[in-house]
């Protein structure tokens, strides 16, 4: 049975805020005065004018001792060493790949920073250079870790661990990088039957549960024959829609929030979750559950 | 945007199973948002947002001379602008081909007098008529441009107010039009039968409607069906693939069916519109 077609008027748009009698953090707009006292230091997202400290981005204020910075709500990804990112190969060059990671500049993945098939300790020969497109070609998705940040802000990546590498079947969801909560692990095998990689750069990869049994290949294998069963497909689609619902209400994304949203969304069918009312309802219920946990 | 083989496989299998990446069935549409009268200095305007696809349409009106071979008809002109903000591919002249394709599809869909009556735009036979410039701006691309554009154009034309001509003075070769100053004197146009375009996208062996950007990448070709009332006014094919006659027939039937549902949904929404409900872009 096909669903109804919804065309709603902009004036009937639902309010996506989930903040129920909570303290709102003050949001500074560009050019707004943060402080007139000059004992503070100028951090990221701020500038000084006529002895006043002003915000240069739209975001919330953060203070460490005397250092004031403003963290933008929406921005491109600013990489830090050790971050887990999900990215897409845009170019194959001499001894390196260019990767799109939602940063201002494309990131670089050197050939020397990947685990080649056939063992950890192997010399990279000229043949490997010719084979680069066989390992990773344009359009391929990878998970990787940030190895270093160059002076211009561009990133150098590595996949020198068995958990990183090429991604197989699944869905990519793009959110703002500021919505991803930093945590010890960004790889989650959710108990509901799907795996999620929360890239720090705002790219989220949802795929069927990964079995960590045959990992000797170093993650360049894709099984294109395998058909994902309907059940798993439904779970993946539901997680995708839940993440979009949380994003619409600007809620932080981490394993617990996604799991709660998944559980709260079960009263709707998966396509119903595309309707704004259902999205907000799911987000509000998730927020309430997260608050309850915090208060305990 | 490019997709890797594995992602394409995932999309393909999903379509085969009638359970797409976002949970929709093959014939399901994503929810849309519409606002009319959004550009204050246009005669009529509309903005339609379909997931990530964002289209702004404005209608301008000018007095012009009718074509000599069609003295009783006004003129209707479509212009599509692909903003480079939508996707980096549109930078420079990148969006030109798509823009021409969309505007040609629209003018061909609106050409028949059964669809849109241009005779209503005639002021003085063979001398003066109204010319409607329909400007379409693509602000964001998230797939399914044709459908979004056609819905937005229909809403904008519905919203358009043609000024009322009170009196025409003919003095030799000079023709003076006396146009009413009052805003309340304007007349709406009849867009009851204005066409709705439906893109039927062939992915694998199946046809889907309302493809998102990823699904469009997976398809070999699609058929755009413009439907006015119950009749097909234009059909065009996009993409490189070829179609079996049986598939083409299937696409057309599906297109007509979906277009009628879309049309009903659009009219339900247009009827709810009340004046002074401005939302605009900033909220």
pLDDT, tens digit (0-9, with 9 covering 90-100), for A93-113: 988 999 999 999 999 999 888
CB B176 within 8 A of CB B165: no
Could you give the 3-state DSSP secondary structure of residue B264? helix
Residue B164 has pLDDT above 80, yes or no: yes
A6 vs B31: CB contact, 8 Å cut-off? yes
Residue A91 has pLDDT above 60, yes or no: yes
Dmax over CA atoms of chain B, in Å, equals 73
Q: What residue spans define the domains of chain A?
A: 19-72
The alpha-carbon gap from A118 to the nearest alpha carbon of chain B, in Å, equals 22
A111's tokens: 């050939």
Query: Domain spanning B5-275: which superfamily?
Result: GHMP Kinase, N-terminal domain (3.30.230.70)
Residue A2 has pLDDT above 80, yes or no: no
Distances (CA, A) of B110 to A93, A246, B79, B118, B227: 49, 42, 14, 10, 10
Residue A214 has pLDDT above 60, yes or no: no
CA B193-B261-A16 angle, 5° bins: 115
Mean pLDDT of A51-74: 90
Contacts of A8 in chain B (CB under 8 A): 31-34, 269
- B117-128 as b/e, with b when 16 or more CB fall inside 10 Å? ebeebbbeeeeb
pLDDT, tens digit (0-9, with 9 covering 90-100), for A127-182: 788 888 888 889 899 999 999 999 998 999 998 888 888 888 889 999 999 899 99
Q: How many CB pairs under 8 A join A and B?
A: 120
Q: Taken in order B257, B260, B266, B268, is the CA torsion positive or negative?
A: negative
ipTM of the complex: 0.88
B268 vs A169: CB contact, 8 Å cut-off? no
Could you give the 3-state DSSP secondary structure of residue B156? helix
| Architecture of the CATH domain A19-72 | Beta Barrel (2.40)
The alpha-carbon gap from A240 to the nearest alpha carbon of chain B, in Å, equals 7
Nearest CA in chain B to A208: B10
Residue A120 has pLDDT above 60, yes or no: no
Q: Which residue among A2, A88, A227 sits closest to B27, beta carbon to beta carbon?
A: A2
Could you tell me what percent of chain B has a pLDDT over 70?
A: 99
pLDDT-based confidence at A218, cuts 50/70/90? very low
The alpha-carbon gap from A30 to the nearest alpha carbon of chain B, in Å, equals 16
Q: What residue spans define the domains of chain B?
A: 5-275
């Amino acid at each position: 049975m096909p669903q109804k077609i919804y065309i709603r008027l902009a004036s009937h748009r639902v309010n996506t805020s989930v903040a129920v009698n909570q303290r709102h953090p003050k949001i500074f707009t560009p050019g707004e005065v943060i402080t007139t006292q000059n004992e503070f230091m100028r951090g990221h997202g701020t500038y000084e004018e006529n002895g006043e400290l002003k915000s240069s981005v739209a975001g919330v204020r953060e203070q460490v001792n005397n250092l004031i910075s403003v963290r933008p709500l929406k921005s491109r990804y600013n990489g830090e060493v050790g971050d887990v990112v999900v990215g897409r190969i845009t170019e194959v060059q001499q001894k390196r790949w260019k990767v799109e990671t939602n940063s201002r500049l494309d990131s670089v993945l050197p050939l020397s920073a990947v685990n080649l098939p056939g063992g950890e300790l192997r010399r990279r020969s000229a043949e490997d250079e010719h084979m680069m497109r066989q390992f990773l070609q344009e359009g391929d998705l990878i998970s990787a870790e940030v190895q270093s940040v160059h002076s211009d802000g561009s990133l150098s990546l590595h996949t020198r661990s068995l958990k990183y590498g090429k991604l197989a079947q699944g869905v990519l969801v793009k959110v703002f990088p500021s919505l991803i909560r930093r945590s010890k692990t960004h790889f989650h095998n959710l108990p509901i039957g799907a795996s999620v990689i929360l890239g720090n750069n705002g790219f989220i990869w949802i795929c069927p549960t990964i079995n960590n049994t045959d990992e000797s290949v170093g993650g360049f294998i894709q099984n294109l024959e395998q058909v994902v069963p309907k059940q798993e497909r439904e779970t993946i689609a539901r997680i995708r829609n839940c993440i979009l619902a949380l994003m619409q209400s600007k809620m932080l994304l981490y394993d617990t929030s996604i799991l709660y949203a998944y559980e709260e969304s079960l009263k709707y069918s998966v396509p119903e979750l595309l309707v704004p009312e259902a999205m907000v309802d799911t987000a509000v219920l998730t927020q309430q559950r997260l608050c309850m946990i915090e208060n305990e | 945007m490019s997709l890797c083989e594995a992602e394409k496989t995932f999309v393909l299998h999903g379509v085969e199973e009638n359970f797409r990446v976002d949970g929709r069935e093959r014939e399901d549409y994503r929810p849309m948002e519409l606002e009319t009268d959004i550009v204050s200095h246009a005669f009529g305007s509309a903005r339609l947002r379909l997931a990530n696809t964002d289209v702004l349409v404005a209608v301008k009106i000018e007095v012009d001379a009718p074509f000599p071979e069609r003295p009783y008809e006004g003129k209707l002109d479509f212009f599509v602008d692909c903003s480079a903000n939508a996707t980096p591919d549109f930078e420079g002249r990148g969006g030109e081909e798509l823009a021409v394709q969309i505007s040609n599809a629209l003018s061909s869909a609106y050409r028949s007098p059964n669809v849109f009556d241009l005779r209503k735009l005639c002021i003085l036979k063979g001398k003066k008529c109204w010319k409607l410039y329909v400007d379409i701006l693509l602000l964001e691309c998230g797939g399914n441009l044709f459908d979004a554009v056609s819905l937005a154009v229909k809403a904008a034309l519905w919203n358009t107010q043609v000024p009322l001509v009170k009196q025409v003075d003919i003095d030799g070769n000079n023709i003076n039009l006396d146009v009413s100053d009052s805003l309340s004197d304007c007349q709406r146009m009849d867009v009851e039968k204005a066409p709705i375009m439906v893109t039927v996208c062939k992915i694998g062996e199946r046809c889907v409607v309302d493809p998102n950007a990823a699904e469009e990448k997976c398809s070999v070709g699609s058929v755009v069906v413009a439907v006015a009332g119950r009749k097909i006014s234009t059909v065009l094919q996009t993409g490189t693939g070829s179609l079996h006659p049986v598939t083409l027939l299937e696409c057309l039937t599906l297109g007509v069916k979906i277009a009628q549902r879309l049309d009903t949904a659009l009219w339900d929404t247009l009827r709810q519109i009340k004046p002074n409900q401005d939302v605009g872009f900033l909220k």
